[in-house]
Amino acid sequence: IGAALGLLKSGKTVAAEECLLAYSRRAPTDPAGWYLLGAALHAQGRTASALARMERSLDLAPDQPEVLKATAMLCQELKRYRAGLLRAERACSLAPEDLYAWLAAGSLLETLKRGEEALLCYEMALARDPGWPPALLNRGAAERLGPLRQPPIVLHSVDFAELAALQAADRWDVL
């Protein structure tokens, strides 16, 4: 596992996949091997295969918040929003302090046009860290757009210096 993790971190995803396939044959009941194999496949753009491997990890050990969050986001990529929401909600229940679990649940709820519930998820994250930028930004967007609208464009780049200056000036209304 250690070698495969090093390969993943260095961007050698195909080599990591090969290493993890061999590991999974030797240790088929180790959920970590299946999770990392899913991560290697996802890094190669093989989302459906990644999800299948991570689901195998959850079959072996269902109460893994990190794997639940990862599978929730993979489901979102694959447009399996309800399945993703179930996983994100389970991650929130297992790790209520995990800001990213609340963010994932909120994002999926917004996609499902359940804006009020999404706002509650962002508020749960902000209750744990009142200044956490991702939750502040998502909450602000959800409040401005309303529960049934989607953003008209996708943001491709951000001037973080400008954002930092606005944050330092306490100008959250502009963000």
- Minimum mean pLDDT range among 17-26, 35-44, 151-160: 151-160
Cβ-contact 37, 17 below 8 angstroms: yes
DSSP SS3 for 155: coil
Scanning the chain, the segments in alpha helix (DSSP H) are 2-9, 13-26, 31-43, 47-60, 65-77, 81-94, 99-111, 115-128, 133-145, 160-168
DSSP SS3 for 50: helix
Residue, of 38 and 164, whose pLDDT is higher: 38
Provide the pLDDT for residue 125. 96
The percent of residues in the chain predicted with pLDDT above 70, rounded, is: 83
Residue type for 58, please? L
Q: Is the pTM of this model over 0.95?
A: no
Provide the pLDDT for residue 159. 52
Question: For the segment 57-115, what is each residue's pLDDT rounded down to a tens digit?
Answer: 999 999 999 999 999 999 999 999 999 999 999 999 999 999 999 999 999 999 999 99
Dihedral angle sign, alpha carbons of residues 154, 141, 173, 96: negative
Rounded to an integer, what distance in angstroms lies between the CA atom of residue 92 and that of residue 62? 14
